[in-house]
Amino acid sequence: MTTPGPPLNRSSPAQSSPSAEGAVLHILVAISFCHLLNDLMQSLLPAIYPMLKTDYQLGFTQIGLLTLTYQLTASLLQPAVGWVTDRRPLPLSLPLAMASTLLGLLLLANAPNYRALLLAAALVGVGSSIFHPESSRVARLASGGRYGFAQSFFQVGGNLGASLGPLVAAFIVLPAGQASIAWFGLAALLGMAVLSGVGRWYGEKVIRGRGARASPAGHRALAPRVVRRALAVLLVLMFSKFFYLASLTSYYTFYLVSHFGVSVQAAQMHLFLFLVAAALGTFLGGPLSDRIGRRAVIWASILGVLPFTLLLPHANLVGTDVLVVLIGLILASAFSSILVYAQELLPGRVGTVSGMFFGLAFGMGGLGAAALGVLADRTSIETVYQLCAFLPALGIFTLALPDTATAARPPLTWPAARPAD
pLDDT of residue 3: 42
CATH topology of domain 20-215+222-403: Growth Hormone; Chain: A; (1.20.1250)
Q: Please state the rounded mean pLDDT for residues 149-178.
A: 81
Residues 213-233 pLDDT 10s: 444 445 556 778 888 888 888
- Average pLDDT of the chain is 79
State the CB neighbour count (10 A cutoff) for residue 3: 5
- The residues near 338 (Cβ < 8 Å, ≥ 6 apart) are 234, 237, 238, 294, 298, 357
Q: Are 300 and 281 in contact (CB under 8 A)?
A: no
The amino acid that residue 180 corresponds to is S
Q: Please state the rounded mean pLDDT for residues 362-370.
A: 74
Q: Are 312 and 320 in contact (CB under 8 A)?
A: yes
Find the helix or strand (DSSP H, E) in which 47 lies.
helix 25-47
Domain ranges in the chain? 20-215+222-403
Residues 96-108 pLDDT 10s: 899 999 999 999 9
Judge whether residue 145 has pLDDT over 50: yes
Residue predicted with more confidence, 280 or 210 = 280
Q: Is 179 left (phi over 0), alpha (psi -120 to 50) or beta?
A: alpha
Q: Is 177 left (phi over 0), alpha (psi -120 to 50) or beta?
A: left
User: Where residue 74 falls among pLDDT bands split at 50, 70, 90?
Assistant: confident
Judge whether residue 250 has pLDDT over 60: yes
Q: Report the Cα 219 to chain-centroid distance in Å.
A: 25
Could you please report the per-residue DSSP string of 344-388?
HHSTT-HHHHHHHHHHHHHHHHHHHHHHHHHHHHHS-HHHHHHHH
pLDDT of residue 193: 92
Q: Are 330 and 308 in contact (CB under 8 A)?
A: yes
Q: What is the distance between the alpha carbons of residues 211 and 198, in angstroms, rounded to a whole number?
A: 16
